[in-house]
Amino acid sequence: MGRRNITQVSDFILMGLTDSKEIRLVLFTLFLLIYLITVLGNVGMILIIHLDPQLHTPMYFFLSHLSFLDLSYSSVITPKTLDNLLTSKKNTSYLNCFTQMYFFVFLGATECFLLSSMAYDRYGAICNPLYYQVVMSTRRCCSLVFGSYLIGFMDTSVNVLCLSRLHFCNSKIIYHFFCDGPAILALSCTDTHDIEIIIFISAGSTLLVSLITISVSYVSILSTILKITSTAGKQKAFSTCASHLLAVTIFYGTMIFTYLKPSKSYSLGKDQVASVFYTIVIPMLNPLIYSLRNKEVKNALNRVMKKRKDSK
């Protein structure tokens, strides 16, 4: 690199989604509305599961953690994005940037394995219903959730440790609305090839292992459903995992599109649209998917509301 100045920068500039003041105002209103729905939906889901004893099952235990992850995931990104849309000052400190990226990767990786745990839970409920209570014991559920958080912690530690070793040569403009790995890699004036390989292996392993777990679970589930003779039985079995399958498809589809490719193919347009979807929109969609498509949640909400009304 010769005698190029590689002094570490103290802050970054997040360029955001657009320079147009009018479009920024529209986006601010839209993102604020989405964030409010996200908070209400996920907090509401957690409260309903906590308050209704009939939802104290492995499936809803995992779902409560999914709601917690979505709420945290959105809160890591959206408030800062809203702030940048309203103000002309787009600076963020080096520490704040890497802290945001740390929790973003941690929560995202954790959600991957939590979705895998939920697929395994559906496999146990449909393929081995007689042994379901034994297989999905409280201890097993807690172990799966703890393992998801542990893997998320390990994944984000590798990512942030690698990226923190980069030098930016006073390059500080991030062409994104949050501190994302590919956007930060694009700033570095040092050779990033080895770091890209490490991050690709780490992120790829997380996605691949969780996807294999989900795929194997659903192949077994589909095989079991096809053996059911009655149409009503098939519909009932499929309805228990339809919401989870839809959530998995949306989450993994945008993640794979964005991250499982070389950083040199990073583009400002398509990648930002995909990023808006999985960082801001998906955390809002999950509670809607699970509540609108699930009669048990609707019935639980009615029971909770009736109990509150009777207590008054």
Q: What is the pLDDT of residues 102-147, one digit of tens each?
A: 999 999 999 999 999 999 999 998 888 888 888 899 999 999 999 9
In the structure encoding, which two tokens stand for residue 112, read together?
């991957």
- Most confident stretch, 121-125, 182-186, 189-193, 306-310: 121-125
| Mean pLDDT computed over every residue of the chain | 84
For helices 58-86 and 94-127, give the axis angle rounded to 10 degrees: 150
Q: Which residues pair with 13 in a beta bridge?
A: 91, 173
pLDDT tens for 214-251 read: 999 999 998 988 888 777 777 777 777 778 888 888 88
Alpha carbon 63 to its chain centroid, in Å, reads 13
Task: List helix spans (H) across 228-267.
Answer: 231-259
Q: Please measure the distance between the N-terminal and C-terminal CA atoms of the chain and give it in whole angstroms.
A: 73
Alpha carbon 145 to its chain centroid, in Å, reads 15
Is the pTM higher than 0.85? The answer reads yes
11 pLDDT higher than 50: yes
Contact 66, 94 (CB under 8 A): no
Tell me which long-range contacts 22-27 makes (C-beta under 8 A, separation of at least 24).
24/85, 24/86, 25/85, 27/85
